[in-house]
Amino acid sequence: MTVVRRAASPNNLSKLVGFANRSFKSLRFPGESFDSSSPSFLTYGIHVFHCPDAVGIVAKLSDCIASRGGNILGADVFVPEKKHVFYSRSSEFIFDPLKWSRLQMDEDFSKLSKTFNAIRSVVRVPDRDPKYKIAIFASKQDHCLVDLLHQWQDGRLPVEITCVISNHDRDPNTHVIRFLERHGIPYHYLCTNKDDKSEGQMLELVQNTDFLVLARYMQILSGNFLKSYGKDVINIHHGLLPSFKGGHPSKQAFDAGVKLIGATSHFVTEELDEGPIIEQMVERVSHRDNLQSFVQKSENLEKQCLSKAIKSYCELRVLPYEENKTVVF
């Protein structure tokens, strides 16, 4: 595969770098408070584009933003060899919302989509658009769940958590339940068994979400559930598969003396643990590790890998590629 980066023409170069002539005091980055008294108030947006490859796509995208007084701060382009498809992510562009309204922005990018027969065109303004709504599924192991809750509390996870769903009935005095009650996040215990996975109840609980997160949820979601839900589901599992299946995989791997462990976050499909990969992480282990340190390293990787995948998804860094792959900018 080949990465192709198309340079701007000299005539357009001044448009692309015009930001250098503006004051940094007028630029708003995520997390900063809104100051309506500022005479020139800039904020930033993100745009991703996936379409059949053609001449002039980058120029048109750049002109769309520049013609409204915006400037691209960074962009990634991927054109796989002999595939005749084009992927781009304008990683950040700045604009003045008083001069380029959100509605007008959608209309402008919609016109580009029609021009190039886009497969996907998505634009987000993180400081103005609603956060993605998610539901988190978890079983008895709660290291991934707790990590996501704490990152959300600290403002490092750009989502709204609508509820937590579990097949494990947690005691009211546990850290997780106390945390959820304190922040007004519902916890739904759904009893599941071989014949009844409570998927009808699940669908009712998640109907207003944008995507789902399986934070070590040890139940298989059926094809009927995935089709009925119709949106993305992100999963995390240890990177020891397929060698160590079943119960206590970390102990199996420890007893086998593996030297490299990992974690994989991927989209959920009907094929178990075979969905398109979003993120993978690895770490070395050695004879100096005992079972406790081995398990701790494995769980830390799972937490980091899952949160990175969620953030990448929310930042529009993940695009589908071919049948079972992803482009991650």
Residues that are catalytic: 273
263 within 8 A of 305, measured Cβ to Cβ:
yes
Output the six-digit token pair for 291: 């079972």
CB atoms within 10 A of CB 310: 27
Residue 124 phi, psi dihedral angles, 5° rounding:
-135, 145
Cα dihedral value 229, 88, 237, 160, nearest 10: -50
| Closest to 310 (Cα-Cα) out of 237, 226, 214, 222 | 214
86 within 8 A of 53, measured Cβ to Cβ:
yes
262 within 8 A of 281, measured Cβ to Cβ:
yes
Beta bridge partners of 300: none
Q: Give me the residue label for tokens 């499909």.
A: 269
Burial class (CB in 10 A: 0-12, 13-18, 19+), 264: buried
| Closest to 76 (Cα-Cα) out of 315, 325, 324 | 315
Output the six-digit token pair for 201: 């109840």
133 within 8 A of 159, measured Cβ to Cβ:
yes
Q: What is the DSSP letter of 246?
A: S
Q: Give me the residue label for tokens 């989502």.
A: 159
b/e per residue, 226-251, with b = 16+ CB within 10 A?
beebeebbbbbbbbbeeebeeeebbe
61 within 8 A of 47, measured Cβ to Cβ:
yes
